[in-house]
Structure 1
């Protein structure tokens, strides 16, 4: 049994990609996921974007390696030549690329041909980062949520997803905000559930969870509201680009799992301050 077997009766709505500022307003207000069709038509700069485009455009790329459990944990990264990454894609499949394209962490080597514009409904003031993801297939994430809204655009291949609304956080078994080990390992937004083999004896509340399952196809985008738990697994070779932006209301921060996130971030900030003080006090 996998996490996908926890699908409930609800299905996800599909609507045309909004081209106006208020195009996602009702989904944002309801914190409701939605599939958007017509990405390439709405965002013309993506029309030629696929693996071959990025393989030829990029000199190097930032990747992570699989952990022992076969999952990419988004913790450690290395930058390798694009030629070496292509070898990974063709042979070992032991690597998943995550390259910032706009916003935080963008490489100085990013060519002018890769220019990202924001959709009309993503506010410039709340925008955080747009990332490129490239995987060889069967790459999967942990069950987690983000404190920001997310829009994941599929440019090549397809991915299967299951989403759990924020009000199901009690069934998701997040790491405790008071676990020092979890904080040090940056398990701020992760679940302790093994998505491939859920252990219902260890996580009995998971049986009550009902998720929304679907496929993100090439040319579509998936809007994932802040605080929505999600697990995503690619089928074959895949290329996607996302946007993260902050547009939460105060009432959102007062509910789980974002309240949990706020507490964890404060704890991590405190740990960072303690480290800095210790460093200053330590003998040279």
Structure 2
């Protein structure tokens, strides 16, 4: 992988953000953006523990999804307070996925404000994500194709970002929003995944209060380096073309995959994995051929 540093700023005006990052669809790390929130001191695991400790939450781990089960089915459940105790006391790969604040902890809505950066937020689903110090999230892009503003709290996190056009080198699985399961992005094996050497992206390390702007359709891999959590604020699709693509992703591709997975189970997963390799091999051959011709 060819990784470079993402642009990093301490403060940024709406005009600069729109001109330099939002309109060109370029990522940027805004250090300490959450510090401007009046209730910034409440963005910690202790507050979540106190407010939502009795809630039972679904948990996911680093293992590939079971082909005989739905991809969104948790591996286990636990009370929030027990989960927080666990990840604070020992290494764990357990994580909470897509915890919608509006539905599950509306009191938290009063503890942040939407940064005035010039784009329209989809305020129905601000979401929390939690992870232990061993948790990682498979390389993927968000199916709704919204622009994302991703805040990190408590522990540090490593994020890899790749623009949509890098998908051919990432071993994208067809009819899915993720790459093949067995790519180790912390120690990539280029003998098994030679196309990955040519994927150009960004490496970002996030700390408490930082915000990362991830443009629509960007691939991202998240690795919790310490126990922590994050909140993602997302926008509406910003153009009719993107809206139509989002509707296709959500209602055609996603449900076609669910039906095929239910019918064929492991055979369907194997077929998609093999297809991903073939497409990336084709992209690699084309790139190498163009390089030799140049």
TM-score, L = length of structure 1: 0.72
Unaligned runs of 5+ in 1: 1-5, 178-187, 275-284
Deviation of 1:157 after TM superposition, in Å, equals 1.3
Look up the SS of the partner of 1:138 in the other structure. Answer: coil
- The residue correspondences of 1:119-198 to structure 2 (distance < 5 A) are 119-121=115-117, 123=119, 126-127=122-123, 129-146=125-142, 147-177=145-175, 188-192=176-180, 194-196=182-184, 198=188
| Partner residue, 1:27 | 21
Cα distance change on mapping 1:213 and 1:234 into 2, 3 Å: same
Q: Are the aligned partners of 1:61 and 1:97 in contact in 2 as well (CA < 8 Å)?
A: no
Q: Which of 37, 50, 73 pairs up with 1:76?
A: 73
Deviates more, 1:55-64 or 1:28-37: 55-64
Look up the SS of the partner of 2:200 in the other structure. Answer: coil
| Partner residue, 1:181 | none
Deviation of 1:126 after TM superposition, in Å, equals 3.9
Deviation of 1:36 after TM superposition, in Å, equals 0.8
TM-score, L = length of structure 2: 0.70
Deviation of 1:223 after TM superposition, in Å, equals 0.8
1:40 maps onto 2:49 in alignment: no
Deviation of 1:18 after TM superposition, in Å, equals 4.9
Taking the aligned partners of 2:37 and 2:22, their CA distance within structure 1 comes to: 20
Cα distance change on mapping 1:168 and 1:250 into 2, 3 Å: farther
RMSD: 3.4
1:262 maps onto 2:252 in alignment: no
More helix, by proportion: 2
Q: Number of paired residues? A: 247
Q: Are the aligned partners of 2:161 and 2:220 in contact in 1 as well (CA < 8 Å)?
A: yes
